[in-house]
Amino acid sequence: MTLLITRMWESVWKNKRQLAASAVAVMLGLYIVVAGSTSSTAADTRPNSTQEARPPLNGDGYVVLYPDSEGFYEPSAEFGSAAAEQSKLLNVNDRDADPFVVLAEADGSLPSGMTIQDIETIVLAKRTGNFGDAIEIADNLGATLLSSDESGRTVELTSSSDIPSTAAKANVRTWAALANAWSPSYEGDTIIGVDWGVKIAYTFTVTEGSNQGAAGRGYGYYRGYNGSVFGTWSQYYNLGSAFSNTATTKAVPWGNVAGKARFKATSLASIYAAGKWNT
């Protein structure tokens, strides 16, 4: 009797092991099929920056840079890594001694609906010194048109007169950030700089009474690298720190560039911080 029961149990256990092995084989087969299907789909649909890159548009006195092209104006790595700390060389044709650099949007459109005709008008204004039509274009786009005077001061060219004004548009935006990491890049107003003396001032605050603090960085552009005149470069600049009872403002180089201001922050005094920023 004991022998019979033992053999019956061995038979049952053997069947269970066979069923388990079959189940594992089926699951493994399904995994291979699904994984293979997923890999194939990813390979077919994943954007390829080399194949899909839209080359820069080089015009008379200007160049338009498009996202995903070589030398795209936004570093691919999160700021804080060694790679992203370095300046980024823009893919600009330097045959022109002073090219007007226009940075297209993610969808390929120009900043704030700018057109090629607008760009050509601004380039002509740069050459003639008559900014009347360029001022009208900036007003229609809701953009800020900036130049620098003989003293090196950045001034805004406004529609009220041809006399430069130091007043700047202040479209205030909100930001939020965690500690120990930089926030995503917050996009601001369209800035049109018409010479390499132009700087833009980033201002950021932390929510009043929150007992929070944050460090900020603002995006900018400059001509030449390490004292040279080679290339057009971009990078995030340190703006310093702000706390719930103090705001911080700092100017960074912008130059002969039309594009969107960009801001990042990281919390200093707590796990989370929030506030406002503008240029």
% of the chain beyond a pLDDT of 70 = 63
Q: In the block, which residue shows the tokens 């912008």?
A: 254
In this structure, the answer to whether residues 15 and 127 fall within a common structural domain is no
In this structure, the answer to whether residues 55 and 41 fall within a common structural domain is no
Q: Where are the alpha helices (DSSP H) in 79-206?
A: 82-85, 116-128, 132-141
In this structure, the answer to whether residues 238 and 115 fall within a common structural domain is yes
In this structure, the answer to whether residues 132 and 151 fall within a common structural domain is yes
What confidence tens digit (pLDDT) does each residue in 174-212 have? 999 999 999 999 999 999 999 999 999 999 999 998 889
Give the 3-state secondary structure of residue 21.
helix
Task: Give the span between the Cα atoms of 5 and 197, in whole angstroms.
Answer: 94
pLDDT of residue 10: 46
DSSP letters along 47-104, please? Answer: --HHHHPPPPEEETTEEEE-TTSTT-SS-SSPBTBHHHHS-EE----TTSSS-EEEE-
The CA-based angle 72-75-79, given to 5 degrees, is 165
Q: How many CA atoms lie within 13 A of 191 on its CB side?
A: 32
In this structure, the answer to whether residues 80 and 14 fall within a common structural domain is no
Global pTM exceeds 0.75: no
Mean pLDDT per 10-residue run, the chain (279 residues)?
Answer: 40 42 33 29 31 74 74 36 48 63 89 96 95 95 94 87 48 94 94 95 93 95 71 88 92 95 92 94
Element of type H or E holding 9? helix 2-45
In this structure, the answer to whether residues 80 and 196 fall within a common structural domain is yes
Question: Could you give the number of structural domains in the chain?
Answer: 2
In this structure, the answer to whether residues 59 and 168 fall within a common structural domain is yes
In this structure, the answer to whether residues 147 and 229 fall within a common structural domain is yes
In this structure, the answer to whether residues 127 and 7 fall within a common structural domain is no
In this structure, the answer to whether residues 42 and 60 fall within a common structural domain is no
Contacts of residue 199, Cβ cutoff 8 Å, sequence gap at least 6 = 148, 154, 220, 251, 252, 253, 254
What confidence tens digit (pLDDT) does each residue in 39-62 have? 332 222 223 334 355 788 889 999
Domain stops at, among 12, 31, 46? 46
pLDDT of residue 276: 96
In this structure, the answer to whether residues 200 and 94 fall within a common structural domain is yes
Closest residue by Cα to residue 260 from 204, 225, 216, 219:
219
In this structure, the answer to whether residues 12 and 98 fall within a common structural domain is no
pLDDT of residue 174: 96
Torsion of CA 241, 181, 251, 200, to 10 degrees: -140
